Structure 1
Amino acid sequence: MLVSLNWLKQYVDIDHLAPQDLAEKITRSGIEVDAVIDRSQGMTNVVVGYVVSKEKHPDADKLNVCQVEVGEGDVRQIICGAPNVAAGQKVIVALPGARLPGGVKIKKAKMRGQESNGMICSLQELGIEGRVVPKDYADGIYVLPEDAVPGSDALELIGLRDTVLELGLTPNRSDALSMLGVAYEVAAILSQEVNLPEIQYNTTSEKAEDYIQVRVEAKENPLYAAKVVKNVKIAQSPLWLQHYLMAAGVRPHNNVVDITNYILMEYGQPLHAFDYDALKTNEIVVRLAKEGEKIITLDDQERTLKAHNLVITNGEEPVAIAGVMGGANSEVTSDTTTVVIEAAYFEGFSVRRTSKELGLRSDSSARFEKGVDPNRVLLAAERAAQLLQELAGGEVLEGTVAVDDLDKTPARVVVSPDFINARLGMKISLEDMLEILNRLKFDVEAANGFLIIDVPTRRQDIKIEEDIVEEIARLYGYDEIPMTLPVNYEQVGGLTSYQAKRRIARNVMEGAGLYQAVTYSLTSEELAQKFAFKAEATTKLLMPMSEERSILRQSLIPHLVETASYNVARKADSVALYEVGSVFLGQTAEELPYEEEHIALVISGKWVDNAWQGEKLTVDFFVAKGIVESLFEKLGLTERVTYEKATVEGLHPGQTAAILLDGEKVGLIGGLHPAERKKYDLKETFVAEINLQAILEAEVEEIVYKPIPRFPAITRDIALVLDRSTPAGEISEIIRKAGTKLLKDVKVFDVYEGDKMEADKKSVAFSLTYFNPERTLTDEEVVNAHEKVLKALAEAGAEVR
């Protein structure tokens, strides 16, 4: 909702408040102000000009040389390219030195050899959105009324010396979808009264009922009223009305349509104007549409209706879709002389369903959906009649033709002050509560320890005691609610150890560059046990929606691989995903599947792609293993985890390993088999899956921090000739066991298999680190420790190169 403060001032006194201060008060009372918009946008030197003459530019077909008076006989030459500029017009002129929105600064210039001393402006150039600019001026300059005074402030004249508040309304606050609703809210905040519009007009001796009859056949419309205004003169609306509408985000059309839109924004009550002569009959019938019935709406689109859509007809054919949009066959045009004003109350559910089905949403439908004030329906029609008489010269016929079965009884809420204070945890006096409710214009009576409140019908959101609690709290001030500790404040909440570790696991994956995926727990019979490293009896649904989603999964990998394939098929050349989720194994004593939380990853494509360095690295087994090792390192399990060569159907036989924790299998890691990659149209792809529950529940010793070493370490490198089938991990374990307590670390740093090695042999190079935290090692100590390692390797059949 866009609220012009110049417009708001008509109903409540806000002159003493700066716009920012008012916005702060409104926000603190419960309606958030999303933006405070200065419509002048810092513009200067923008005045009214009078076009004395216009001639074609001698060297440009689309430019005109205009002589423009800008006040007190000051005539300046301005070059203008607008197609609608003409002599005798009053226009908006930005003089040299003027600043316009977007940082535009106007200077004297020459255009094709002709001097230009300013710019004749369109509304768009003054920062007004094109969608709200009147169609007559959408592609040219804006023409001011004849009584505009040259040299006067143009921004003041067209309403840009104004500030607009953009309210972010929640769906329950439909009352604030109108200027009067906002006025009631601001008046309550500032403890002021609301100045409602005075409605007075003269009527003719003719009666409306002699011109039009109303019949309601559908219960979805409990109130329908029509007023008739004759001899209206269709013209442009006064400048003040046009610019109030534009400030509210509504495009002006003509005085009749603008009046209905003005009242829509003022009262929050949608109205519609029919051309009486175009109705062709003297009756309006409100009924449900016939199945397949058609209507061309005001946007020139043909709409096909359903039997539950509510329509307004002339007794023969639809002339409007109730609460949504009028029909083109009864539209007010420049030839209209007699107008029928419709004011109605349509059920929100009916309007919403019709609007959604037709894909047609309007300001009217939005208000009917959320609920309008039943006591403003007829009042809005009277206000429209008044303005049609004042601004369109209309003659209002006596009376209103109406069918009224609408219950307008205010909702009654009974609540005790103790209930309010108990819910808020504070002590607000009865006097303060009554004062707040009176500021809100709620009829309230205190009796027998209770507040008996009749809620105005404009506040459709107030139904129960808790609604009154909210109203008291927000106007008393949320900042006034005291800060208190919970009763059991010593029981501080927090994450369990398992939850904290799970969060660490996610952080490791995301820190390595993987994106989290969430896949289905249900899968097909073919994929249910694929890649499962602990396959057990599966759990099938009794009534699955499809075969593809009929069995609970026992591995996360299959769906992650499918997700990778899906992304690659859509031009994502590199994919790195992980998932934390449950697998379902066997059955518990209650005949339910046992859930086990796992973590899995899939990586494919490039791992490093630094174009500026010309560096490109594709993923491999060791990238996946490095991510898994980082996870165990963060969880403090590195020393307890080992890897063993494994064979898993669907994974590459030479690039697959089982992951063991304390000798128990907790996961697997490997590359997809070439046949699997071809099936899913993937390049080199590697996967891993770990029983997250097992590793998070594993007991870990407390972290003991050690001081930074003061003494240097000594490294020894050895290259060993091994059988190709001998895992490097076995040799590493032999080295660790043979080394004395001085051996602190063993790493593989090179593997060679080539022409200079026998066909069934390989060379593996290890780096051994010796260190004593208490003193500097001697060469003799290192040699003795290293000799023990070499002896153990020789006994194991490893040959030193």
Structure 2
Amino acid sequence: MIVSVNWLKDYVDIDVPVKEFCDRMIMSGSNLETCTEIGTGIEGVKVGRIEKIEPHPDADKLVICRVNIGQPELLQLVTGADNIYEGAYVPVCVDGSRIPGPLHGQPKVEGGVEIHSGQLRGVDSYGMLCGPQELGFDDKVAPYISKDGIWLLPGDWSDKLGADFAEALELEDSVVDFEITPNRPDCLSMLGMAREAAATFGTTMKYPDTECARTDEESGDYIKVTVKSDLCRRFTARVIKDVKIEQSPWWLQKRLMAAGMRPINNMVDITNFVMMEYGQPMHAYDIRSLAGGEIIVDTAEAGSKFTTLDGEERTLEEDMLMINDAEKPVGVAGVMGGLNSEIEKDTNTVVLECANFVGSSVRLTAKKLGMRTEASSRYEKGIDPNLCEAAADRVCKLVEMLGCGKVLNGSVDVYPEVVKAPTVKARVSRINAVLGTDITREQMESYFHALEMKVEGEGDDMYITPPTVRQDLLEEVDYVEEVARMFGYDNLPMTLPDTGSQTETPLSWELRQLTRNTLCGMGANEIQTYSYSNDKVLDKTGIDEDSWERNFVRIINPMGEDTSALRTILTPGMLEVLGRNYNRKVEAVRAYEIGNTFMKNLMEEHALPDESYNLSLGCYGKEEDFFSLKGMIVALLDKLGIHRLKFEAESEYRVYHPGRCARIQTLDRNGQLVELGIMGEIHPDVAENYGMDCRVYAAELFFDLIVELSDREVIYKPLPKFPATSRDIAMIVEERLPVGDVLMAIRHMEADILEKVELFDVFRGVQIGEGRKSVAISVTYRAEDRTLTDDEVDEVHGDILQMLRQRFGAVLRER
């Protein structure tokens, strides 16, 4: 709902800055989309009157205008507009003036456009005449008479000649676009938003004047209404004679333009104005087009054709509600009138329709015909049938104010089932219990009265009756929400509900939170990517066509090719994020994601897919390398209770650089090696596919398996009373032997006195020989109940040396 703040002030006193108005409306439950300023950026533009129009001597499409801007001499301007006439009041951009633009046929310029004198085909032009578009108004709101040419002001502006155009027309306004939820159709109107504002700011609501004089003739003498379908809940018709079709006054045009609607003529503008004011759509028919002076509301004949006001021929279906006369259809109920009943310039008598239709019917009709309108968008959400009479009265009052017709007495009103608002019991104690507040009954009643509700009852019980426009208030919980938003969402205390029971945190959730905290502490940012994938995504990462990662769960009705399957791994999403940051000149990134992956159930064809959590890590930057990523993984897994790790070199997985990739392994509870995931440097070709020409590192771990193997039990021991002793082992082994295998083999020796095994040096050189390396390991021994003797240590140390010779072919280096 687009709300002009200046228009809103016609109904409620608001004397606060626009920002404060927006903030307080948000806190009372009105969600705000945008707030924009209109009518700004106009400098030096004057109100002028065209006194004389002469042809241009050297151009058939140009004319020379002599314009009065309140100075002794007329201003000479050259224009190509064809909608001007002598005596027209227009905006005049004099030399040095500035307008928001854009100029016709040119792109918009930041800061606007400065206008200067010049020559057009040899004739001096001391400025320019302009249209609404050049003054910053959208094409769709330009008055119909001015939409393709110069802005022609309605009425007499002789007392404003030479005045500043923006000030004279009071153009400056703040326009707030509110997002109206489907349960609040009453807010699709200026009066609805004014009620909200009055309640929010504690001011009094001012309703528009609807009293007008009537002739002695009766509307019922000119028109007859028959309703044959229960899809029409109410139909009110009034007749207006001696209609004069002309431009609406500026105040009315200004309101419509601020609301995003184009002024057409006085009769159309009045009905649109009241629709925006009350939220009640209406339509005016030329009585000459209504055969038999009759309106019949009934469903359409299947396959029949009908041409709407936009000139399009529509094919109707039998469930579409139509407005007919005695011979033919003249309008699609709640959507759009027919071209055959359009108001013409010579229209003398008008039949005003103000009706209420079932919202679901209007919505389906508009959808099938592909013609959603301002009227249908309101009907489909539900409109209070009791608005019909008040809205029709308001139209009649405006017709009288503008002097564009005579309103006949009475109306034809078909309203078989009068709608009444339900009275709902709400308890003060219950409202406070839900909100966690201590609001008194008196304070609650003040909120309800401000929203025009009637409150009865005593003590804890309140019996509340809302106005019928509030069709969303049906149960006690609805009134809890009303109190909450009037009290102010920002004022509600931050309390947790007392569930009366204790809950146990799942281990998986606990470890996911610990993972997030740990990785954030390491400088990594959490990301979230889409759960969708497809074969092209995996092609980009270099994964083989016959790999298990392509065992996709296919989506039956995907939104598109890119979302045709569910992901099996997280790495492609991580690489997309890293690539996007790299291409936006982010120098270094550390990121992680904990997300679901999906695998087709191979055991049961129609069973649900296997869903599990994976952990993805990714980084690039000057400080990042294979070992920085490995350090993150080791530290994280240690925090998660997995301590004995083995990194097995991997060269076949094409996502990663051969020789710079490792499988991450650990021992399960049975002492068997299991794979936790994979890590390494991304293959340069894969990195290039994502637009990165630097070294990129990534890892993916099976998080559910980590949860299963996690052992975070901490066993505390007293500080050792007896000393430790250490022995160093220096040995020569094959270059291809992973040192991790050596360390793990020593740690698995059955020796109670073996306390710690650490690698402290690896050496390669000509002294060692090609294809070999020297490895130095420190082994620490200690007994908890005694001081070790050399013999005890020598025995265990000798077993270790023998195992190394036999198992790994190690050659011990002697001093």
TM-score (norm 2): 0.72
Distance in 2 (CA, whole Å) between partners of 1:641 and 1:381 is 80
Distance in 2 (CA, whole Å) between partners of 1:747 and 1:413 is 82
Change (3 A) 1:30 1:734: closer
Specify which of 641, 644, 649 is matched with residue 640 of structure 1: 644
Change (3 A) 1:404 1:218: same
Which residue of the partner structure matches residue 612 of structure 2? 597
Which residue of the partner structure matches residue 753 of structure 1? none
2:596 is the alignment partner of 1:580: yes
The one-letter code matched in structure 2 to 1:698 is S
2:476 is the alignment partner of 1:465: yes
Distance in 1 (CA, whole Å) between partners of 2:374 and 2:432 is 39
Which residue of the partner structure matches residue 350 of structure 1? 361
Shift of 1:502: 5.3
Specify which of 388, 406, 428 is matched with residue 439 of structure 2: 428
Which residue of the partner structure matches residue 138 of structure 2? 129
1:263-412 matches, cutoff 5 A: 263-391=274-402, 393-412=404-423
Distance in 2 (CA, whole Å) between partners of 1:249 and 1:96 is 31
Which residue of the partner structure matches residue 103 of structure 1? 111
Which residue of the partner structure matches residue 140 of structure 1? 149
Change (3 A) 1:447 1:746: same
SS across alignment from 2:353: strand
Does the 8 Å contact 2:732/2:810 carry over to 1?
Answer: no
The one-letter code matched in structure 1 to 2:7 is W
Which residue of the partner structure matches residue 695 of structure 1? 706
Number of equivalent positions: 713
Greater Cα offset, 409-418 or 198-207? 198-207
Does the 8 Å contact 1:749/1:767 carry over to 2?
Answer: no
2:3 is the alignment partner of 1:3: yes
Deviations 1:260-299 (A, max 9, x none): 1011011111101112222333221111222223322222
Change (3 A) 1:87 1:147: same
Shift of 1:453: 2.1
SS across alignment from 1:303: strand
Change (3 A) 1:414 1:125: same
SS across alignment from 1:52: strand
Distance in 2 (CA, whole Å) between partners of 1:690 and 1:27 is 44
Does the 8 Å contact 1:324/1:351 carry over to 2?
Answer: yes
Shift of 1:446: 3.3
Change (3 A) 1:281 1:193: same
Shift of 1:61: 6.7
Distance in 1 (CA, whole Å) between partners of 2:11 and 2:655 is 75
The one-letter code matched in structure 2 to 1:597 is S
2:24 is the alignment partner of 1:25: yes
Specify which of 499, 512, 531 is matched with residue 518 of structure 1: 531
SS across alignment from 2:134: helix
Does the 8 Å contact 2:678/2:701 carry over to 1?
Answer: no
Does the 8 Å contact 2:731/2:811 carry over to 1?
Answer: no
SS across alignment from 1:125: coil
Which residue of the partner structure matches residue 707 of structure 1? none
Distance in 1 (CA, whole Å) between partners of 2:526 and 2:75 is 64
2:253 is the alignment partner of 1:245: no
Which residue of the partner structure matches residue 89 of structure 2? 90
Distance in 1 (CA, whole Å) between partners of 2:763 and 2:285 is 88
Shift of 1:547: 15
The one-letter code matched in structure 1 to 2:510 is S
Which residue of the partner structure matches residue 44 of structure 1? 43
The one-letter code matched in structure 2 to 1:51 is I
Shift of 1:157: 4.2
Does the 8 Å contact 1:174/1:370 carry over to 2?
Answer: yes
Structure 1 unaligned regions, length at least 5: 522-529, 549-555, 568-573, 614-621, 672-676, 705-715, 751-760, 773-784
Which residue of the partner structure matches residue 660 of structure 1? 665
Shift of 1:354: 1.9
Shift of 1:244: 0.8
Shift of 1:664: 3.1
Which residue of the partner structure matches residue 194 of structure 2? 183
Distance in 2 (CA, whole Å) between partners of 1:546 and 1:478 is 42
SS across alignment from 1:187: helix
Shift of 1:602: 12
SS across alignment from 2:178: strand
Deviations 1:533-567 (A, max 9, x none): 9xxxx9xx9xx99899xxxxxxx999559999xx9
Distance in 2 (CA, whole Å) between partners of 1:321 and 1:302 is 12
Shift of 1:503: 4.0
Change (3 A) 1:638 1:60: farther
RMSD: 5.6
Does the 8 Å contact 2:289/2:341 carry over to 1?
Answer: yes
Distance in 1 (CA, whole Å) between partners of 2:172 and 2:60 is 36
TM-score (norm 1): 0.73
Deviations 1:59-90 (A, max 9, x none): 77765554332214253344444444454432
Change (3 A) 1:89 1:634: same
Structure 2 unaligned regions, length at least 5: 101-109, 535-545, 559-564, 577-582, 584-591, 680-684, 691-696, 717-728, 750-754, 781-796
Which residue of the partner structure matches residue 13 of structure 1? 13
Distance in 2 (CA, whole Å) between partners of 1:95 and 1:769 is 90
Does the 8 Å contact 1:294/1:304 carry over to 2?
Answer: yes
Distance in 2 (CA, whole Å) between partners of 1:694 and 1:463 is 50
SS across alignment from 1:597: strand
The one-letter code matched in structure 2 to 1:110 is G
The one-letter code matched in structure 2 to 1:76 is L
Deviations 1:174-196 (A, max 9, x none): 22221222222233334333332
Greater Cα offset, 345-354 or 84-93? 84-93
Shift of 1:418: 2.8
Shift of 1:730: 5.2
Change (3 A) 1:336 1:721: same
Distance in 2 (CA, whole Å) between partners of 1:407 and 1:134 is 39
